[in-house]
Structure 1
Amino acid sequence: MRFALESVPMLPKSRIVSALAIGLGLALVAWGVLFPRIVPTDARLPLSLKQTTMTLVDQHATQRIPNDGTTYTGPMTKQYHAELLPPVDQEVATARIGVSLMRGEHGPEGAIQASDLDRLVEATVWTYTFKRTTGMNTSPVKFVNMPATGAIDVDFSGYWVKFPLDAKQTSYEVFDATLRRTAPAVYKDSQERNGRTIYHYQQKIDPTNTADLYSTFFTTIKLPIKPAPPADKPQDIEAYLFHSGVRDYYVDQISGMIVDMSENIIDYYGDRNGGKLADAHLFAGKMSNEQSAAMLAQAAQLSDGHIMRIITWVVLGLGVVTTFAGIMGAFGVGRRQDEYAEDLEEV
């Protein structure tokens, strides 16, 4: 038994160290390659947002009431309330956006309550999927009116809930609910808010006849001719809803999240040539400073991931160096040194 034990060859210490170095190096390389694929290190849209409503208020808005043709003038509130729904994964999320317009002073933020229904002018619910990094849609947007009607699919290619990560000084196609298509939001300037870089984009919409895009109860109506013509002549004229305005988005440059917004909408009913016949919807609303600050604080929790990417590259590089050193030790310099040491022992 003693002879058998003594006959078992023992690996040189350098070989053992080299093998351990190779194993450690390969583990570091695997970590450096797989970690960013498994754990996102960028500022993609989180799935547990608390600030999900943008409330725009205009104290002196104008709204034509479709039912009786009267005109309301006074405070109005527009809300964009977004929720993230399944299916969702690391790359794609599903958004449901409620867009509501209400007369009177605005109440609590969030989804429409039963007590708001008597003030409600219009409400629509929109659902689509988008990439959590770029914000680009990956499906048509499906929407219904409230009270619910049949769902309608609208094709578009652009952004709405958010702008891309690492937003650029360029223009982006952003969805407009009245047009039911996108219009360019053009980069205007950059500003700093609480240490974050905010990009300002402006979306200008020229007067557009919505009846040429789709047909609803609101896009084409009859208006009385003024002054009244003789009794034997037509008493009314067909009028079309023209949509126009300017919308300003303030976007956190790192995450692409919208942290502030205002819009000046000028909708009117006009003849086929675009001549104005009556006001339809005049609304110059903006978010409160408090709500914008809360949106900014939420975006500030997201980083661009550059520190984690640096760590990942360092670990990957260390793994490559360690693996290479282990291989050299096992088959190169270390082996020759072991043989030289063995020869000295024999002498």
Structure 2
Amino acid sequence: MLPRSRVAAVLTLGLGCILLAVGIALPLLVPPERPVPLELSETQLTLQDDRARIGPSYLAGEDGDAAAPDPVTAPVTKTYAVSLGEPADRTSAAATVGVTSVRGDRDGDAALLDAEVWTYRVDRTTGASLGDAKVADTPATPAVAGEVDGQWLAFPRNTGQQEYPVFDNLLRRAVPAQFVQTEDVDGSEVYVFRQEFDHEPVRQSNPGYYRATSTTGEGGVSSLYRNGYKEFRVEPRSGMIVSVTEDIQDVYVPDGTDGTDGADGSDGDDGAAAGEPELLSAFHGATPESERDDLLVQAEKIGHDRPTRGWGIVLTVTGAIVALGSAVVALRPQRVQRSGPAQAGE
């Protein structure tokens, strides 16, 4: 019969092996990286411009006019409202993104300039689109097939200081965003990426987007182009976008012209004659600081890894020590003790 010390050593050896196995498997079963949670406290990103320029195509029909002759200056707010939900798993989720542009000096339907609702699947770690998308951009009509390419809601976890393709919902394609610098925001480091638009044609990937223009003349056809830039500020560990700055001008240019005159959305577009470029909108706005700070706090929480890697190391080392010590005791040769009479007979 085995002595109690050896039985205890064998049991302890089994415990050490279990700790060793759990320590090795823990980081694999529970990855340290936290995916973007389905329940976010901050689900909205806004940009505000108190002096946006709104062109005749948006103003047509106001006050009974067939078309307003000149752009107007008004406060405009762009909003990206995001929700993640089912079907979802540890790596992906269904995403719904509502994009609106609203005038601050109007009420009700008159205030709405543009509205879209996108649905697609998103990778909860990389922020990339997974599969087909649908978009509803016309009231009282069903959603149509679309495509979300590149990053949009977020950058990948552990964002690098490199170029990333970032989706633009008007162009409906990705445009490269270059890393330009780091910034300190309330003691936290964020990465700044800049996306440039140089006379980018909207018709190429979004041929259905068109508003009636007043400057092309009878039978004239014009094409919409996007100019300007966007800057994204990203918390690098989580990849979450915490603020956006835009300086964007969207201009209709009659086909057959070079589109250079008035393409910057300046006052030169006001009252343009037939055949000249016509401003659709000029927006120079940014995310309010209070909202940026809230988004940054949320991003930093998401960016903190689970302690599974550290616990895995602790359990592995502890299990190895316990197993090794127990094995030494369990496998140690047992001393044979001879009885008293036998010793006397010698």
TM range (shorter): 0.7 to 0.9
**Residue from 226, 229, 235 that aligns with 1:246:** 229
Query: Residue 179 of structure 1 corresponds to which residue in structure 2?
Result: 171
What does 1:143-158 correspond to in 2, within 5 Å?
143-158=135-150
Query: Residue 312 of structure 2 corresponds to which residue in structure 1?
Result: 312
Structure 2 unmatched runs, 5+:
62-66, 262-276
**Residue from 223, 234, 239 that aligns with 1:256:** 239
Give, in whole Å, the separation in 1 of the partners of 2:80 and 2:108.
15
Contact 1:207/1:242 (<8 A) preserved: yes
TM-superposed deviation, 1:38: 4.2
Deviations 1:118-147 (A, max 9, x none): 300110001111111111111222110141
SS in structure 1 of the partner of residue 95 of structure 2: strand
SS in structure 1 of the partner of residue 316 of structure 2: helix
* Matched residue type, 1:162: A
Contact 2:34/2:306 (<8 A) preserved: no
What does 1:1-347 correspond to in 2, within 5 Å?
9=1, 11-64=2-55, 65-66=57-58, 67-68=60-61, 69-70=67-68, 71-104=71-104, 116-218=108-210, 221=212, 223-224=214-215, 235=218, 237-272=220-255, 273-275=257-259, 276=261, 277-305=277-305, 307-331=307-331, 334=332, 336=333, 339-340=334-335, 342-343=336-337
Query: Is the deviation greater in 90-99 or in 318-327?
Result: 318-327
TM-score norm. by structure 2 comes to 0.83
Give, in whole Å, the separation in 2 of the partners of 1:62 and 1:287.
18
Contact 2:48/2:285 (<8 A) preserved: yes
Contact 2:157/2:303 (<8 A) preserved: no
TM-superposed deviation, 1:171: 1.2
Give, in whole Å, the separation in 2 of the partners of 1:325 and 1:116.
76
Contact 2:46/2:77 (<8 A) preserved: yes
Give, in whole Å, the separation in 2 of the partners of 1:195 and 1:327.
51
Query: Is the deviation greater in 169-178 or in 11-20?
Result: 11-20
TM-superposed deviation, 1:83: 0.8
Deviations 1:159-213 (A, max 9, x none): 1111111111111111100110111111111123334321111111221221232
Q: Classify 1:344/1:119 alpha carbon distance in 2 versus 1 (closer, same or farther; 3 Å).
A: farther
TM-superposed deviation, 1:235: 4.1
Q: Classify 1:287/1:123 alpha carbon distance in 2 versus 1 (closer, same or farther; 3 Å).
A: same
Give, in whole Å, the separation in 1 of the partners of 2:47 and 2:129.
24
Contact 2:31/2:308 (<8 A) preserved: no
Deviations 1:227-258 (A, max 9, x none): xxxxxxx7452111112221111111111111
Give, in whole Å, the separation in 1 of the partners of 2:46 and 2:172.
21
Give, in whole Å, the separation in 1 of the partners of 2:127 and 2:213.
40
Give, in whole Å, the separation in 2 of the partners of 1:271 and 1:128.
35
Q: How many residues are paired up?
A: 315
Q: CA RMSD in A?
A: 2.4
Q: What is the percent sequence identity of the aligned residues?
A: 29
Contact 1:94/1:127 (<8 A) preserved: yes
Contact 2:31/2:306 (<8 A) preserved: no
Give, in whole Å, the separation in 2 of the partners of 1:37 and 1:72.
58
Give, in whole Å, the separation in 1 of the partners of 2:307 and 2:186.
20
Give, in whole Å, the separation in 2 of the partners of 1:306 and 1:197.
21
TM-score norm. by structure 1 comes to 0.82
TM-superposed deviation, 1:306: 6.8
Give, in whole Å, the separation in 1 of the partners of 2:87 and 2:10.
45
